[in-house]
Chains A and B, each alone.
Chain A
């Protein structure tokens, strides 16, 4: 970013809650069904129908509130946000306005210097999603799919505490991790289960008043969030430096062109005429209820990371990586508990070879072809010197390809390490005999050649000789 300017960003994250049925009706929420097959009369806004709150969303919002150290409101109120749009069946969206269920939360991210930075969470409120308008493939007509109408959302609004696109992404990732840890959202961004609007403004360094902000709507990947915000920062600064003014408006990010463009102004000239929804009672939450939810909260990322450092002696960065998802952390812990190998070795393998293989095959940790106990079996064989770390990689690949457990692969391929000194000595003797020139050079003082001899021995044993022993025996024989 250009010198002399600073950026102020706030995010509104929409996280779809992982309930089986909708927030105000019994219709299913599963993604990808045929259009309008998961919309009941309530979702269609038929005359006379009434909303009934799905209690599960209150539980989920409470979990979220506790996870970000927020206040869970003893009383929150659903309100109607009135506007006309074909994919909004009732002509209003049921949301929360003046009294949201969660307020005053916070979390910490690492800023550019690696320091912990507090990001305030203004509020999180419950609301229903709208349907979808479909324009493609319908000549001169628009279609409406109301399967998504009434899907529960938690809208999480941050304070304008974020100062760069990187911080915005770091914050969004933290929220993403939290909702998945809690199991309240699948966080699937391709399916739109986790998306955000970014409010961006710039101001000259030192200026106290905020600049005019624009809102970039509907960003559904971390990469797009970063690119869209960066584009918008540059655009605003350039515009202001040219003597222009930033117009407060809603913009859309076009990922193909990597730019933001204003939405038609008509779509934002709304007065939503919020008022409490008379069809729904206020949501009342007792202190006992909040306490019981707190008791059931899973261990959260920050606590887990700290525990991994303290209890397993892991490097903080590795602990961070391993706790980025609950499934990965669970995998690590399951593997670590099933082997005597050093925990750092387990961490290295989970972060390294295992994550590499998952990425390569585009798999989720839950679908890993090598289970935690199978990986533990492999690491045990490194630990007890049955195989070297190098051979282990070969064994791992075979396991990944479905050739069986570590022991089965080692057995089948004869990869067991040679630790019998007399066997190694015999090979060393052969190597010395076969390379008289190098032996002479070594003896003349060219110590580096030891590597050559080790290599020859390992080659002759197909890597199975214990490297420590090879070194020792070579030095003894060549030195004499």
Chain B
């Protein structure tokens, strides 16, 4: 089966699983192939912070053994990459920061544990914006990640390393995290599939916190089917995370082939205003037409408070991050300044040296909005607006099953373009942030190109509506082939 061997890296997880089952190749061969690709190609991308070749090959060998014995879970022998925000026992876990450049986690995140139990082979840890704060992957201490579609451009962020690795066929899928769009925006910019499930669907235990009430783990893959496979493994209640929700995990794969005939699709009036690149808007409209051709009905819906989502987010997220990042004080782990004069000096210099500019900007913003005298005006007000935004969605979902629109206002932008202008950078998440504020599941899938750069179609569903998102995406991918497009240098 040499033909299959040649194209191993181009296959989806489901296809790979079938190949492994058939014995076309082994997990060890597959793993070695991908490790070789990473060794050869990642210098162009900088998608990895750590490559875990040895443990990956050992896991692959175990998976092959299990498969031979008729055992093995849903991911048995299948390669994945973990965003470097997930704690991995015995492996450096940096969160993209100098602060944790020396941090070897003593434990596995629940997500890591569950995927390992299902037989996954972890190729490495992917690059990301520092502490997941960024939309371009340029805030990483380990340097920016480059977009496989145009190496001069950003892959988006913060899960840019995961997205670039999947787009470049270095891994069939990767984990990501999404606080304001950090899975969906890079997915859109790299032509991959990204899903952020309902808040509480996947345990946050072991995922280094940025903004606890918004953070949610998710997946970047090339097909909705692979996202469904992974979500089934990752989702579920975890007694170690009080905010995870005790609710049965549906059979996401099982429902994919149902028709979307009669699915009520909401198109947000406010999504197609002046802020959106017109060509991107056209791709999205074409995608909506495809959904209609598959039997979906479209309805126009209103999200009147949408314009408040970015400012609201930039109060809530920094507030939580200013507190969440207090533990990085140079005392127990992470970067510690040398020759500290006293305690204050130790704190100031350890944090001053360990954190980058964007992280510092957000810690300062967050500290400010929580301060005595400002709390009511900013934090409390933002929480109130958050309720309004959630109510908007609730009303919209009374009439529709899925809300669709663009994932990002434009295709991938050039590296360095927006680094000096945080506000424009923040506006990149305007379409995605609402789902985080309301805790809703949302997904981005590739829906075409503008000037050779991928465009993403964004979909949001009501709480625990992942099945609708996955089915709609899968049906769309059965009718289109945008998701099979591969950047020229990574074929």
For B124-159 the 0/1 string (1 means CB < 8 A from A) is: 000000000000000000000000000000000000
A279 to B242, Cβ gap below 8 A? yes
**A278 and B206 within 8 A (CB):** no
Q: How far is the CA of A274 from the CA of B370 in the complex (A)?
A: 7
Interface band, chain B: 35 or more
Contact with A along B312-348 (1 / 0, CB 8 A): 0000000110110111110111100000000100010
**Interface residue B100 (Cβ < 8 Å from any Cβ of A):** yes
* B240: contacting residue among A46, A50, A84, A280, CB under 8 A: A50
Q: What's the Cα separation between A281 and B328 when bound, in Å? A: 24
* B331→A47 contact, CB < 8 A: no
Assembly CA distance A73 to B84 (angstroms): 41
Check A47–B95 contact: CB distance below 8 A.
yes
Residue on A nearest B383 in the bound complex, by CB:
A276
For the complex formed, measure the closest distance between the CB of A135 and the CB atoms of chain B, giving whole angstroms. Answer: 12
Cα A279 to Cα B207 in complex, Å, equals 12
Counting chain B CB atoms within 10 Å of each CB, the highest count among A86, A144, A280 belongs to: A86
**Leading 9 A-B pairs by shortest Cβ distance:** A91-B326, A278-B213, A273-B370, A278-B212, A48-B206, A45-B327, A47-B208, A48-B87, A48-B208
- Other contacts beyond A41-B106, A48-B206, A281-B243: 14, CB < 8 A: A41-B107, A47-B103, A48-B86, A49-B205, A50-B204, A50-B240, A51-B242, A53-B242, A89-B327, A91-B323, A273-B370, A273-B371, A275-B379, A281-B242
Is A231 positioned at the interface, with any CB of B under 8 Å from its CB? Answer: no
Q: How far is the CA of A44 from the CA of B106 in the complex (A)?
A: 12
Q: Please report the C-alpha to C-alpha distance between residue A50 and residue B243 in the assembled complex, in whole angstroms.
A: 10
* Interface membership of chain A positions 52-91, coded 1 if the CB is closer than 8 angstroms to chain B and 0 otherwise: 1100000000000000000000000000101010100111
From 255 to 309 in chain A, residues with beta carbon under 8 angstroms from any chain B beta carbon are 271, 273-275, 278-281
By beta carbon, the residue of chain B nearest A24 is B242
Task: Enumerate B339-381 residues with CB–CB distance to A below 8 Å.
Answer: 343, 347, 367, 370-372, 375, 379
By a CB distance below 8 angstroms, the chain A residues around B213 are: 278
CB pair A82–B323 under 8 Å, yes or no, is yes
A47 neighbours in B (Cβ, 8 Å) = 87, 93, 95, 100, 103, 105, 208-209, 327-328, 333-334
CB of B343 within 8 A of CB of A86, answer yes
List CB contacts (< 8 Å) of B88-126 with chain A: 93, 95, 100, 103, 105-107, 109
| Pick from A45, A48, A53, A84: contact of B207, CB under 8 Å | A48
Chain A residues within 8 Å of B347, by CB: 84
Contact B243 A271 (CB under 8 A): no
- A278: chain B residues at CB < 8 Å are 211-213, 243, 320
Return the contact of B239 from the options A41, A52, A89, A144 (Cβ within 8 A). A52
User: Is there contact, CB below 8 Å, between A82 and B370?
Assistant: yes
Docked CA distance A52–B241 (Å):
7
Chain A residues with CB below 8 A from B319, complex form: 275
Given A89-B332, A91-B329, A278-B213, A48 and B109 contact (CB-CB distance below 8 Å) = yes
How far, in whole Å, are A86 and B212 apart by their CA atoms in the complex? Answer: 23
Closest to A86 in B: B331
Residue with the highest number of chain B CB atoms closer than 10 Å, among A41, A46, A47, A92: A47
Known interface pairs A92-B326, A278-B212. Does A52 touch B103 (Cβ–Cβ under 8 Å)? no
Shortest distance in angstroms between A89's beta carbon and chain B's nearest beta carbon? 6
What are 16 A-B contacts with C-beta separation under 8 Å?
A41-B106, A44-B332, A47-B103, A48-B208, A49-B206, A50-B204, A50-B241, A80-B323, A86-B331, A89-B327, A89-B331, A92-B323, A144-B331, A271-B371, A274-B375, A279-B243
Asked if B242 contacts A52 (CB within 8 A), the reply is yes
State in angstroms the CA–CA spacing of A89 and B326 once bound together: 9
Q: Provided the pairs A52-B242, A82-B370, A84-B329 are in contact, do residues A273 and B323 lie with their beta carbons within 8 angstroms?
A: yes
| Pairwise interchain contact B327-A52, C-beta atoms closer than 8 A | no
Q: How far is the CA of A137 from the CA of B188 in the complex (A)?
A: 59
* Contact assessment for B331 and A90 in the assembled complex, using a CB-CB cutoff below 8 Å: no
- Interface residues, chain A, CB within 8 Å of chain B? 41, 44-53, 80, 82, 84, 86, 89-92, 144, 271, 273-275, 278-281
- Cα distance A435–B328 when bound, in Å? 94
User: Contact between B106 and A46 (Cβ–Cβ < 8 Å)?
Assistant: yes
- In the complex, chain A residues whose CB is within 8 Å of the CB of B333: 46-47
| Chain A residues whose CB sits within 8 angstroms of the CB of B334 once the complex forms | 47
Q: How far is the CB of B68 from chain A (nearest CB, A)?
A: 35
Closest Cβ–Cβ distance, residue B462 to chain A (whole Å): 21
In the bound complex, how far is the Cα of B370 from the Cα of A280, in angstroms? 18
> Which residues of B sit under 8 angstroms from A279, Cβ to Cβ?
209, 212, 242-243
> Which residue of the partner chain A has the closest CB to B212?
A278
Q: Output the least CB separation between A240 and chain B (Å).
A: 29
Residue of B204, B205, B329, B334 with most partner-chain A CB within 10 A = B329
| Shortest Cβ gap from B370 to chain A (Å) | 4
Contact residues in A for B332 (Cβ distance below 8 Å): 44-46, 89
**Residues 177-214 of B at the A interface (beta carbon under 8 Å):** 204-209, 211-213
Do A271 and B327 touch (CB < 8 A)?
A: no
Which A residues lie within 8 Å of B367 (CB)? 273
Contacting residues, chain B, for A45 (C-beta < 8 A): 327, 332
Q: Which residues of A contact B375 (CB under 8 A)?
A: 273-275
Known contacts A84-B329, A144-B331; A48/B242 CB under 8 A? no
Beta-carbon nearest neighbor of A25 in chain B: B240
For A84, list chain B residues within 8 Å (CB): 326, 329, 347
Give the Cβ gap from A70 to chain B, nearest Cβ, in Å.
Answer: 26
A273 to B371, CA, bound (A): 5
- For residue A272, which residue of chain B has the nearest CB? B372
B372 to A271, Cβ gap below 8 A? yes
Q: How far is the CA of A5 from the CA of B231 in the complex (A)?
A: 71
In the bound complex, residues from chain B placing their C-beta under 8 Å from that of A86 are: 329, 331, 343
Chain B positions 44-89 with a Cβ under 8 Å from a chain A Cβ: 86-87
Q: Which residues of A have CB within 8 Å of B205?
A: 48-50
Q: B441 CB to closest chain A CB, in angstroms?
A: 19
- Indicate whether A50 sits within 8 Å of B242 (C-beta atoms), given known contacts A91-B327, A91-B329, A275-B323: yes
C-alpha gap A274/B380 in the complex (Å): 12
A21 vs chain B, min Cβ distance (A): 14
A275: chain B residues within 8 A (beta carbon): 319, 323, 370, 375, 379
A273 to B334, CA, bound (A): 24
Which residues of chain A come closer than 8 Å to B107, judged between CB atoms?
41, 46
User: Which residues of chain A are within 8 angstroms of B379 by Cβ–Cβ distance?
Assistant: 275
User: Bound state CA distance, A46 and B108, in angstroms?
Assistant: 12
**Which chain B residues lie closer than 8 Å to A52 at the CB level?**
239-242
B316 to chain A, nearest CB (A): 9
Residues from chain A with a CB closer than 8 A to the CB of B325 are 91
Q: Which residue of A lies closest to B244 (CB)?
A: A50
Q: Closest B-chain residue to A142, C-beta based?
A: B343
Please name the residue on chain A nearest to B334 by beta carbon: A47
Bound-state CA distance A423–B376 (Å) is 93
Are A90 and B327 in contact, CB atoms less than 8 angstroms apart?
yes
User: How far is it, in angstroms, between the C-alpha of A256 and the C-alpha of B372 when the chains are bound?
Assistant: 38
Cβ–Cβ < 8 Å partners of B239 in chain A:
52
Least Cβ distance of A51 to chain B in Å? 7
B454 to chain A, nearest CB (A): 31
